Each structure stands twice: as structure tokens, then as C-alpha cells.
Amino acid sequence: MPQAFVSTDRIRSLFTEAMSQMYRTEVPQYGTLIELVADVNAGCLERDPALRERLAHAGELERIDVERHGAIRLGTADELFTIRRLFAVMGMQAVGYYDLSVAGVPVHSTCFRPIDEAALNVNPFRVFTSLLRLELIEDEGLRSEAEAILAKRRIYTPRAIALIERHEQNGGLTEAEAAEFVAEAVETFRWHGEATVSAETYKRLHDAHRLIADVVSFKGPHINHLTPRTLDIDAVQARMPERGITPKAVIEGPPRRDCDILLRQTSFKALEETIVFAGDAEAVQGTHTARFGEIEQRGVALTAKGRALYDRLLASVRGEVQVGAGGAKAGAYDQELADRFKALPDSWDELRRQGLAFFRYSATSEGIAAAVNGTLGGDPEALIAKGQLAFSPIVYEDFLPVSAAGIFQSNLGTDQQQNYATRSNRDAFEAALGATVQDELALYAERQAASLDAAMEALGLAVLQLKTVA
Ligand code: OOG
Ligand code: NI
């Protein structure tokens, strides 16, 4: 008898909801951030009816407050291998490779996310997933000690593994299995205040790098933040202190613009939390800093050419002004960013014509009518000029390594910007993952090309229909 499987989109939505509930309970300040974001979003929608209309049309209004991403840090190749299989149950695949060692953070990362447009429209939730690079620990003794500690832990419940296998064998999960899977999967990301190491070991790991202590000292890869979408990131950043929240010094990514590009993000500083160390005769308490809240605002995906310009402008800003520890020079940085980014066109049509960004094309009703009347423009440019072909920005669904490094740094206790030489090792990452990571630019290019083909076909089909009718 055929089994009725639920869609991977539904499992992803259930998972997002379960993670949100868990994290709000674990980190009350995150709940406060969510409330602020909801207030700011409501204000934006009230002031801008056109925006409300656009979001309603896109089906975005009901789920505006649903989280858009989270992040975890894994310790071993096996853990990464299994997380790929776990996220596959929810329709998420590894896209992109990010080398964070360039910023002095000993990890490399990918983004697990849905890739097709329909799935992204249902729920675009993604997880920024990092793998610790123990080979970057210089002290050999400490490195093998960390390896031995990590080798002992089991971060997935046996039932989660069984359900992953069931999904792989049967090609899906039933509603009951999906509910059970989500409940088991969130266990992996739960916070454990009891460290698996002694205070002394924790200190040595921490001295090597705070991030090493965060990954190695606990039972599992606790979710370290969740990130809702905001319609006005500058407003949320400015208003965090009103609610007793301390934001990081600067918003990462491009400056505020009329036509949003890529990704802007900011976070509140990670909280200092009480933990209990293991292995001591008496319970020894300490504190650990890892968990925070973040917000994001996404814009159009840039082509390789647009991205090269973005990277060059950002590097020039960072070469000119470095935000210091404690946020010194944040104002000068923001000013420099705004000034230098004037070199990147701030109109959808310019971005499109100069081949700087990706767009989704569609035939307009005027276009369909023109096809019927035989007054269609010729090539896409002529069609656009006549209003017969429309285009809208394709949203950037991925992350930015320099921004991610800034988020890491801020939450590892400093706002100081750092620039290091790259030591990327994508092959090792993919070997651990057990798959190649997908090329995000190719995914956007495919979506743009497919939309243009479909639009042209829609116009062409209209012509054909006319011929058959006549
Ligand atoms: C991940 C930081 C990166 C982002 O939004 O760029 C990130 C981490 O701290 O583990 O989440
Ligand atoms: Ni993040």
C-alpha cells in the first residue's frame, strides 16, 4: 500500500517552529528581540501601504515574523556527514563554501537551505553550519585531546538516526514520523548547561580559541542564534538599547540603499551564561558566552560581476576604516561604507542592464495582449521597453563570509575587525560532508534563465494560440 508522505517543506516548517519555541524559552532576550522586530515591521507596513500590498501579494505577510536562519558549529567530519542527511529530510541542501579562517575563526562552513523557488517560497529557513578545523590548533597535545573528547560524543538521538534512514529508504516520512523526527532533531540543537569537560580543560580550550571551547566542551552543537527578517534593520539596530539589548557595533554587509542588495545583518551581543563543569569532585561553576540573537534584511542576488564590485568596495572601506574593539570608529565606518557604495548603481534597471544582479522575468498582460495583436517587441530589451516583459529582483538566499566573520567576532567578545590570509580547504570540507556543495551563482543564473524562457514561451504561446484560433 502506498504511504502518504508529507512534503519536505512541511517538515522544514515544523522544524523552524519547534526551534523558535525552544530558543525563545532558552534565551528570553531573543523573545524581546522578536517583539521589537514585530513592532518595527508593523510600523513599516503601516507607513508604506505599497510595501504591504507587495508582501501580501507574495504571500509574505502571514510569515513575516518566521525565522529565516540559524547557526550551528560542529566538531567532527562524522557530525557534518550526518547533518547533511538530517537536513535532507527537510529539503535542505549544502550551498556554498565559506572559509572563516580568513577572519581568524578556525572553521569552514556551508549553508543548508532549500534550492528551488517553490520551496523557498514556502519557507526559506537555512542553517549556517560550521565545522571546527582542529588542524588549525597549533598545540598538538591540545589538538589530540580535543579530538578524543569529540570522538566520544553522540549528538544525534538513535531515533533521529532511525528516522533519517527511514526517509532515505522510503523516500519520505509520514505525518506521524515527521512530527517525531522534528521532536528528535531539535534535541541535537538544545542547550546543555553541563559541560562535558573539567574547568581546567575548558580553560585550555578557551585560551586556544573561544570558539574551540564552545564546540568541544558540550554534549552537542547548541543552536547559537536564530534570525528573523526585518523590514528596517537600521531601525531595529537603533532601538535595541530601548529594550535593554546591546547590539554589535555595526550592521554587516552593504549600506542602506533604495534597492537592497545581498544581505544586511546585525546581532545582539552573546549572553554570558552559567555552566557547570564535569569531572570535578564538587560541581564547579563557570560562565560561557555563545548564544545571541540576530536580524537580517535581504536584497537582490548579485552576479559574479556585481559581487566582484561589492567585494572590492567593501574591502576598500575596511582598508580605510577598521572598527576597533568596543566599537570604536563605528560611525566613521558607516559613513565610509555609504560613500564608497555610491559606485554601485542604486536602480533595478541599472543593476539589470549592467549585468550586476539577477532578476526573475515574467510576461505582462500587456505583453500577452501584444502577442495577440502582433505588436510584440523583438528581443527582451525591446519587450521591457514596451512594458511587455517585467523583471523583479531574485532574493539573495545565501551568506557573506566577511559579514559572517563579523557576526562571529562580535559574539566571541570583540567588535574588532580582523583581516587574515586565506587558508581555505574546500576539498576536506566536501570529503567530510560526503557531497559537493552547490554553487550559489549557478543556482541564481539557472532561475533567471528559466524565468526568461518561461516568459518568452508565455508570449510565444499566446501567438500560437492566436494562430490556432484564427
Ligand atoms: C555563525 C555566524 C555566521 C551569519 O548570519 O552570517 C552567521 C556562528 O556564529 O556560528 O550566522
Ligand atoms: Ni546568522
Dmax (CA) of the chain:
91
Q: Tell me, using a 6 A CB cutoff, whether residue 407 lines ligand 1.
A: yes
pTM for the full predicted model: 0.94
Three-state DSSP at 125 gives coil
- Say how many Å lie between the CA of residue 118 and the centre of ligand 2: 23
Closest ligand 1 atom to the C-alpha of 107? 10
Q: Tell me, using a 6 A CB cutoff, whether residue 265 lines ligand 1.
A: yes
Ligand nearest to the CA of 411: 1
47 DSSP assignment: H
The position carrying cell 561604507 is 337
What does the pLDDT read at residue 467? 45
User: Over the range 29-50, which residues count as b (16 or more CB within 10 Å of their CB) and which as e?
Assistant: bbebbbebbeebbeebbeeeee
Closest ligand 1 atom to the C-alpha of 296? 5
149 Cβ neighbours under 8 A, 6+ residues apart: 196, 197, 201, 216, 217
Q: Tell me, using a 6 A CB cutoff, whether residue 71 lines ligand 1.
A: yes
The position carrying cell 562571529 is 408
What does the pLDDT read at residue 416? 56
Q: Tell me, using a 6 A CB cutoff, whether residue 403 lines ligand 1.
A: yes
Ligand 1 pocket check: which of 97, 99, 210, 225 to mutate, most ligand atoms within 8 Å of Cβ?
A: 225
Ligand nearest to the CA of 223: 1
**62 in the Ramachandran plot: left (φ > 0), alpha (ψ -120 to 50) or beta?**
alpha
The three grid cell numbers given for residue 42, joined into one nine-digit string: 508593523
Determine which residue's CA is closest to atom 4 belonging to ligand 1: 404
- Say how many Å lie between the CA of residue 166 and the centre of ligand 1: 31
Ligand 1 pocket check: which of 218, 399, 402, 414 to mutate, most ligand atoms within 8 Å of Cβ?
A: 399
Q: What is the pLDDT along the chain (470 residues), one digit of tens a residue?
A: 557 999 999 999 999 999 999 999 999 999 999 999 999 999 999 999 999 998 888 778 888 888 899 999 999 999 999 999 999 999 999 999 999 887 788 899 999 999 999 999 999 999 999 999 988 888 899 999 999 999 999 999 999 999 999 999 999 999 999 999 999 999 999 999 999 999 999 999 999 889 999 999 999 999 999 999 999 999 999 999 999 999 999 999 999 999 999 999 999 888 899 999 997 677 789 999 989 999 999 999 999 999 999 999 999 999 888 888 778 898 999 999 999 999 999 999 999 999 999 999 999 999 999 988 888 877 888 999 999 999 999 999 999 999 998 888 887 766 555 544 556 799 999 999 999 999 999 999 999 999 999 999 998 855 544 444 43
Closest ligand 1 atom to the C-alpha of 411? 9
Determine which residue's CA is closest to atom 7 belonging to ligand 1: 404
> What is the CATH architecture of 8-358+394-438?
Roll (3.10)
Q: Tell me, using a 6 A CB cutoff, whether residue 399 lines ligand 1.
A: yes
- Say how many Å lie between the CA of residue 461 and the centre of ligand 2: 44
Q: Tell me, using a 6 A CB cutoff, whether residue 98 lines ligand 1.
A: no
Determine which residue's CA is closest to atom 1 belonging to ligand 1: 71
What does the pLDDT read at residue 332? 92
Q: What are phi and psi of 232, to 5 degrees?
A: -150, 90
What is the residue type of 418? Q
Q: Tell me, using a 6 A CB cutoff, whether residue 15 lines ligand 1.
A: no
- Residue ranges with strand state E in 229-384: 263-268, 272-277, 284-289, 293-298, 359-363
Number of other CB atoms surrounding residue 234 within 10 Å: 16
Which residues make up the CATH 3.10.180.80 domain(s) of the chain? 8-358+394-438
Closest ligand 1 atom to the C-alpha of 224? 10
153 Cβ neighbours under 8 A, 6+ residues apart: 75, 196, 219, 220
Distances (CA, A) of 171 to 7, 8, 12: 11, 10, 16
**Contact between 78 and 92 (Cβ < 8 Å):** no
Taking the C-alpha atoms of residue 298 and residue 240, their distance in angstroms, rounded to an integer, is 20
- Say how many Å lie between the CA of residue 56 and the centre of ligand 2: 26
Ligand 1 pocket check: which of 112, 210, 407 to mutate, most ligand atoms within 8 Å of Cβ?
A: 407
Number of other CB atoms surrounding residue 261 within 10 Å: 26
- Say how many Å lie between the CA of residue 136 and the centre of ligand 2: 23
- Say how many Å lie between the CA of residue 128 and the centre of ligand 1: 6
